[in-house]
Amino acid sequence: MTTLALDLASTTGYALAFDTEIISSGILTLDRGRGVLVPRQVRIARLWRRLNMLAECWQITDLVLERPAHFRSMAASEVAFGMFAVAGLWSTIVNIPATSIVPTALKRWATGSGAARKPDMIRAAAAKYPGINVFSADQADALLLLGYYRAMSC
């Protein structure tokens, strides 16, 4: 079983695991091209291509997504909900089951508080995965999504 966990945003955090071993984690930057922001359609096309590439290379069997919540700006909200919809459509087309996780449940599981902030989530990911260099909140969320999904699947 190969699971891909995504924290979708312009900078998308990802974590990829085969059975119990984490293969890779990090971030995918979808919103920049030669130093400038790119249009929404380009971001969506990049996400679609990366999903196809990961599925082909790693034989993805499960997709885990953080469900969008509330955002400070309408633009951020549009990006997150749009990417969530695209990832859901992609998983349906390629017949890979997708599970969405509510952010407060993830935060409560990771830190004990449903209102945890980004630094708290980074610390929680670093503590749960000491062999991985956790360098961003996006990567931390993806790693924790993967851990939460596995914990709830047992």
Beta strands in 8-96 (DSSP E): 11-18, 21-29, 32-33, 36-37, 62-66
Q: Which of 35-39, 81-85, 112-116, 141-145 has the lowest mean pLDDT?
A: 35-39
* Bridge partner residues of 12 (DSSP): 28
Mean pLDDT of 108-134: 94
* Burial group, residue 41, by CB count within 10 angstroms (0-12, 13-18, 19+): exposed
For tokens 């955002």, the residue is 71
- R_g over Cα of the chain: 15
CATH code linked to domain 2-153: 3.30.420.10
pLDDT mean across residues, the chain: 90
What are 10-42's pLDDT values in tens digits? 889 999 999 888 989 999 888 766 666 677 788
Residue 49 tokens read as 């291509």
Is 70 exceeded by the pLDDT of residue 44?
Answer: yes
pLDDT at 41: 83
